[in-house]
């Protein structure tokens, strides 16, 4: 029976697996690298790897063991490869965003693009709003592509669209969090909208020989990548 190894987070399993199984494919979920290694112990030519909101970077040696392409749902448009695409899109003042389905390659977010499904960014949306909307759009895209993904012997058709722009890293995100010594009110608001507030990061300000961190006054659950994690 054809099989998909679904590399994702626990919070995503309930709304991803049913669509794949309905398309007639067996599904094995992997969350951590150890799970992926275990799932690949019985690899067959009828096995495909699909990644969705995963935290695991898949090395070239692993990708090379599959008979056909592996696929990833990137939570951003082709203009924003790498980490935190929503942050950089908001900081740049974009009015449009996308979720991108692409073949996986040894270099993150560089493989041939299958589809970039675009949508408008709501006026005034901050990072939390955009991340939640992006997750909703990713799930919808996954559901549409599930039958094609389940046909593991057939590669998905490439769109011909290319990745554009620099591949963002955590260092780029950290740089946005650093306001320096004398930010304007406009720049503070621009960065706060893009970076957001969370338990693992904060905007910082330098002055009087010290570095100060913004204390979050946000209430409610912790949300990461549009998913409630606590």
Whole-number pLDDT of residue 47 = 96
Q: Can you give the pLDDT at residue 230?
A: 46
What is the largest distance, in Å, between two alpha-carbon atoms of the chain? Answer: 66
Q: Which domains does the chain have, with CATH numbers?
A: 3-150 (3.40.50.170), 170-228 (no CATH)
pLDDT 10s digits, 3-61: 999 999 999 999 999 999 999 999 999 999 999 999 998 889 999 999 999 999 999 99
What is the spatial distance between Cα 8 and Cα 16, in angstroms, rounded to a whole number? 9
In which residue ranges of the chain is pLDDT below 50? Answer: 222, 229-230
Q: Are 80 and 88 in contact (CB under 8 A)?
A: yes
The reported pTM is: 0.90
Closest residue by Cα to residue 216 from 147, 145, 127, 140? 127
> Which of 112, 115, 79 lies closest to 95 in space, CA to CA?
79
- For helices 127-150 and 13-22, give the axis angle rounded to 10 degrees: 20
Beta pairing, strands 26-30 & 227-228: unpaired
């Amino acid at each position: 029976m054809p099989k998909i190894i679904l590399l994702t987070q626990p919070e995503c399993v309930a709304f991803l697996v049913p669509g794949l199984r309905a398309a007639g494919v067996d599904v094995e979920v992997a969350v951590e690298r150890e799970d992926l290694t275990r799932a690949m112990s019985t690899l067959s030519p009828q096995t495909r790897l699909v990644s969705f909101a995963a935290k695991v970077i898949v090395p070239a040696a692993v990708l090379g063991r599959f008979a056909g392409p592996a696929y990833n749902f990137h939570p951003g448009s082709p203009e924003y490869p790498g980490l935190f695409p929503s942050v950089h899109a908001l900081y740049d003042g974009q009015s449009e965003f996308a979720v991108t389905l692409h073949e996986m390659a040894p270099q993150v977010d560089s493989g041939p693009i299958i589809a970039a499904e675009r949508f408008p960014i709501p006026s005034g949306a901050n990072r939390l709003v955009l991340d939640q909307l992006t997750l909703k759009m990713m799930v919808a895209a996954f559901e549409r592509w599930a039958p094609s993904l389940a046909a593991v012997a057939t590669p998905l058709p490439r769109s011909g669209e290319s990745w554009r722009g620099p591949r963002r890293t955590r260092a780029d995100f950290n740089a946005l969090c650093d306001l320096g010594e004398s930010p304007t009110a406009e720049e503070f608001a621009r960065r706060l909208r893009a970076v957001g507030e969370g338990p693992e990061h904060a905007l910082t300000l330098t002055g009087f020989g010290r570095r100060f961190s913004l204390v979050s006054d946000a209430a409610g659950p912790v949300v990461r990548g549009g998913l409630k994690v606590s």
